[in-house]
Every structure is written in C-alpha cells, then in structure tokens.
Amino acid sequence: MEDKRNFGKYIAEKRKEKGLTQEELANKLYVIPTTISKWERGMLLCK
C-alpha cells in the first residue's frame, strides 16, 4: 500500500513541476482526469 502512495506523490510532484493540471496530464496520457486524481491519492487499479 505504501508503494501506491509513494507513486501517487511522485506523479503529483512531477506534474506540478511541469506546471500541468490533472486534466492536462490526463489528456497527454489518454485517460480521464479522475484517473490522475485516483493515482495521486494512491488508489491504483493495478494489482
């Protein structure tokens, strides 16, 4: 579980460094903005 949180913090940190919103990052990755939010909160869907 801790790995998911660390990954989420990493994504949020890098996204903010680039000056991107969650929506902008989602568009670049071809996912919906809700997915980025879930990733950043450590709610990854992969097992």
Q: The pTM is what?
A: 0.81
Q: For residue 36, which of 47, 20, 18 has the smallest C-alpha distance?
A: 20
pLDDT at 2: 72
How far are the Cα atoms of 5, 36, 44 from residue 27, in angstroms, in the given order? 22, 10, 18
Per-residue pLDDT tens over the stretch 12-33: 999 999 999 999 999 999 999 9
41 or 1, higher pLDDT: 41
Residue with tokens 């990755």, as numbered in its chain: 29
Chain length of the chain:
47
The mean predicted confidence, pLDDT, of the chain is 90
pLDDT at 1: 57
Which percentage of the chain shows pLDDT scores above 70?
91
